[in-house]
Chains A and B, each alone.
Chain A
Amino acid sequence: MKQTTKEIQIQKRMQLGNISADGFLGKDKRHYLDIIAEDENKILELDYTIDQIADRLEELTAEAFKSPEGPTNFGTLTLDYFSYRGKVTCPFADPGVYAKAKVTARNTENDVQLCWTPLNIHLIRKHHFFEGKGAEFRLDPEQLIKCIF
């Protein structure tokens, strides 16, 4: 597949050591556009939309943020927000920075547990990118939907 200069730069920024220690692709050898395409299909198959997922993640992040004293219950979910000093940028080189933080969520009904960052939400909403398999903050669409809805 012939890549544009922009795509080559994005793929490079996703490698380990550029923006984050282990990168955004994990052990996934596929091009990021192929990762996006497969995840988009999966979401369609599950009858959800990208915006629904991003909206829900934003809502849960805001709920978790409200509880500085530790985990909080929100419906069937237990949420916890961890915040670190510093900021991180988008591998697609969008302007702006994202807080270094992570939200953990556990669905008490099915025991599915996962975590995401503020950058994850941006990557999902704007780029439909859930990260490569094996990446620290990869959000498998099927597991994510099971957890947050």
Chain B
Amino acid sequence: MLIVILKEVLILTALFGVLTAVIVIAKMIFSNYGDCTITINDKRELTVKGGLSLLSSLAEKDIFIPSACGGRGSCGTCKCKVTTGGGPLLPTEKPFLDAKELAGDIRLSCQVKVKESISINIPEEIFNVRKFKATIAEIADYTHDIKGITFKLLEPNNIDFKAGQYVQLMTPKYAKQKQSVSRAYSISSKPSLKNQFQLIIRRVPEGICTTWVHDHLKVGDKVNLTGPYGDFFIRDTKADIIYVAGGSGKAPIKSMLEDLKEKGTDRRMAYFFGAVTKKDLYLTDYMEEFKQVFDDFDYYPVLSNPTEEEKWEGRKGFVMPFFSEYIKDPKNTEAYLCGSPRMLDSVCKELVKMGVPEDNIYFDSFA
């Protein structure tokens, strides 16, 4: 009896083995897409091994399309135009694309698999994005939940960026976090400092990257990042400028002001910084110093809910009611905004109501 059972078990095991081998071989044959060509902007061709996502295939060739979720199809950031190849639009892409994008062949590069030759269009600036290794040179506590982190670049040891652009910082596996994630942060230092830069990072409740930065990151630690990304930079015009920021949104505005200080400008400028209480204000003296640098610049910290003990004598409430103190010619005003989506929403509506053209309002697309 035992021999019969053993014999049947052996036969079954052998059958499963054969079936597994058939599946593996079939997978090797049918999933082997061979070499595929990615044609970029009709002028550059890359040969890649088929089967990976477009995002990963490009990253392997050191072309980094911005992606806040690391290719998991959850952020909708890695959009690019796919003119040929790419297969049908997937249900995972649709929620992130509006009608105009759908009509314009825009796809999520993390969802498009390279299974055949493919043609894409990406902004030329993407070719300037590189992968960096850096070490933490300094960590400054700005407020109870905001830190300024200075990175010294190791490899490559210099970066070219425009004031207002951002990088994507990659977390390592830390504590009980089992996977690496990447998150976008605006550069807060001036572009002329080629071998180092600063980020201003606010703690987000339950945030994987900000918890790592605030609770685990130390001076001397080595980190990986990619950048620079983004089209949030000052346009070369003569228009008046209004900057509006809140929280860590001070970062790109600080970079812009430091850059303008070096390059010089005679543009009329005002900076409205919104915070809740006095303990949320930081770098106030530093911002005030720009009044001595520029001919026509004002800095307005505004507190929405100062405590009585703080005896705040400055502007109270939200920032919007104070715009009229500064904006004289709305049609000739450019706005540069950085902060939470809620702040951006309220400020944009108010600026448009005041007559500032929508095309003159700029903000980080990753907020």
Contact = CB atoms under 8 A, between A and B. Distances in A.
Interface stretch (B8-16, B31-39, B263-271, B336-344): B336-344
Contacts of A137: 206
A85 B305 contact: no
A65 B342 contact: yes
Closest 8 CB pairs of A and B: A17-B177, A70-B305, A83-B340, A83-B342, A89-B74, A95-B95, A20-B206, A21-B211
Contact of B340 (A16, A85, A96, A97): A85
A12 to B, nearest CB: 10
Contacts, number: 87
A85 B366 contact: yes
B92 interface: yes
A18 B179 contact: yes
Given A84-B202, A85-B249, A85-B367, A21 B177 contact: yes
B157 to A, nearest CB: 29
B75 interface: yes
A95 B206 CA distance: 21
A102 interface: yes
A9 B92 CA distance: 16
Given A97-B74, A136-B205, A136-B206, A86 B68 contact: yes
Contacts of A136: 205-206
Interface in A3-60: 15-18, 20-22
A86 B94 contact: no
A84 B210 CA distance: 12
12 contacts: A17-B208, A20-B206, A20-B208, A21-B177, A69-B317, A70-B305, A71-B305, A85-B367, A86-B366, A95-B92, A95-B95, A97-B75
Contacts of A21: 177, 206-208, 211
Interface string B276-316: 10000000000000000000000000001100000000000
Nearest to A68: B318
B76 interface: yes
B308 to A, nearest CB: 14
Interface string A105-127: 00000000000000000000000
Given A22-B206, A70-B304, A83-B342, 15 more contacts: A17-B179, A20-B207, A68-B343, A70-B276, A83-B341, A85-B202, A85-B340, A85-B367, A86-B68, A89-B69, A95-B91, A95-B92, A95-B96, A100-B204, A101-B341
B183 interface: yes
B100 interface: no
Contacts of A100: 204, 207
A129 interface: no
Contacts of B76: 97
B328 interface: no
Interface centre among A68, A101, A102 (most CB of B within 10 A): A68
Interface of B: 68-69, 72, 74-76, 91-92, 94-96, 176-179, 183, 202, 204-208, 211, 247-249, 276, 304-305, 317-318, 339-343, 346, 364, 366-367
A87 interface: yes
B299 to A, nearest CB: 20
Contact of A68 (B74, B247, B342, B366): B342
B318 A85 contact: no
Nearest to A18: B179
B247 to A, nearest CB: 8
A69 B305 contact: yes
Nearest to A81: B342
A118 to B, nearest CB: 11
A61 to B, nearest CB: 11
B318 A16 contact: no
Nearest to B91: A95
Nearest to A80: B305
A57 B68 CA distance: 28
A84 B339 CA distance: 8
A22 B212 CA distance: 12
Contacts of B72: 89
Contacts of B92: 95
A24 to B, nearest CB: 9
Given A20-B206, A97-B75, A69 B304 contact: yes
Contacts of B367: 85-86
Contacts of A97: 74-76
Contacts of A102: 205
Nearest to B338: A85
Contacts of B208: 17, 20-21
Contact of B94 (A16, A20, A95): A95
